[in-house]
Amino acid sequence: MRLPATVRMVEVGPRDGLQNEAQIISAPTKIALIHRLAEAGLTTIEAGSFVSPKWIPQMADTAAVVAGLQRSPGVTYPVLVPNMKGFEGALAAHCDEIAVFTAASESFSRRNTNCSIAESYARIAPVVAAARAHGIRARGYISTVIDCPYEGPIAPGAVAVVAARLWELGCYEISLGDTIGTGTPQRIQSMIEAVADKVPVAKLAGHYHDTYGQALANILASLELGIAVFDSSVAGLGGCPYAPGATGNVASEDVLYMLDGLGIESGIELAKLAAAGRFVSAALGREPQSKVARALAAKLAIKGK
């Protein structure tokens, strides 16, 4: 089993995590969290999204968050953008990267963005073109790459079709979202194999929610196929408001612990990452969901006695 020597971890907690929290975290707390994540060594940190505040009120302050960032050299702070209105917001905020999003299931696309998959391409195409014209990179997300909460299993070929389209439209990387975390390693591998027929593996990322506790196994299965970019949320924050029952993304601390154990370089410091997770969990008034974070906290408590 020859695994990639390095992995880039994409931190999505401040966006995917906080968009699904019932309580709205203040912009200064979000900014402090993002600074701590950069300090821990993350080089891609999603800062928020320019979506309709009626749909996702938790992200309504994204412009203030981006404006308040002290940007670290070598770190990018992407924001999600669903349409040209969102892109205009991102441009006005001087964002350095955007992410566009669609789904492999029609029903999920409609619930998440009020349009069909075909209509989503028509929205995404001018956004990516405008971003490129401004020298801004665009990442593409596909939701429901394994199962849809409304339609059930999604054929790997259907995911490949959407990935090919996002690639053609000019996305530099395609992130494959197991939105409701039902995937298991063989299904994840079949899906990746189908997509890799259309888009180079080096341009794919895994975005696995951990609802069924399978995300780390799915990351290992993806590493075996050469995927070297993974999205995760510090403290296991996250979910999706239009995916009933979906819990958070896989916890960044858990991913990093596994990568460290495999000898895979990521450039991230576990102690600092776990401290960032404790910081945001305290702001939410609960414990981190990450098992590694909890184990480290217990160890710290024993040492402190």
Question: Where on the chain is the footprint of ligand HMG (CB under 6 A)?
Answer: 16, 19, 49-52, 55-56, 80, 82-83, 85-86, 101, 112-114, 141, 143, 177, 179, 207, 209, 240
x/- letters, 80..119, toward Mg ion (CB under 5 A)? ----------------------------------------
CB of 56 to Mg ion, least distance (A): 12
Instruction: Name the residue nearer to Mg ion (CB basis): 16 or 147.
Output: 16
Q: Are 246 and 239 in contact (CB under 8 A)?
A: yes
Spell out the residues 6+ positions from residue 199 whose beta carbon is closer than 8 angstroms to its own.
163, 164, 167, 174
Residue 16 makes contact with Mg ion by CB under 5 A: yes
Q: Are 27 and 43 in contact (CB under 8 A)?
A: no
Instruction: Name the residue nearer to ligand HMG (CB basis): 16 or 61.
Output: 16
CB of 180 to Mg ion, least distance (A): 10
237 residue type, one letter:
L
Tokens 């460290």 sit on residue: 260
Instruction: Name the residue nearer to ligand HMG (CB basis): 150 or 294.
Output: 150
The residue annotated as part of the active site, out of 95, 148, 171, 240, is 240
From 152, 138, 63, 132, select the one nearest 98 (Cα to Cα). 138
Work out the angle between the directed axes of helices 270-284 and 291-304 (0-180°, nearest 10). Answer: 100
Q: Using alpha carbons only, how large is the chain's radius of gyration in Å?
A: 18
CB of 241 to ligand HMG, least distance (A): 7
The option from Mg ion, ligand HMG, none interacting with 4 (CB < 5 to 8 A, set by class) reads none
For the question of residue 240 being annotated catalytic, the response is yes
CB of 207 to ligand HMG, least distance (A): 5
Q: Which residue blocks in the chain are alpha helix, DSSP H?
A: 27-40, 62-67, 84-92, 106-113, 117-133, 156-169, 185-196, 215-224, 252-262, 270-284, 291-304
Catalytic residues: 240
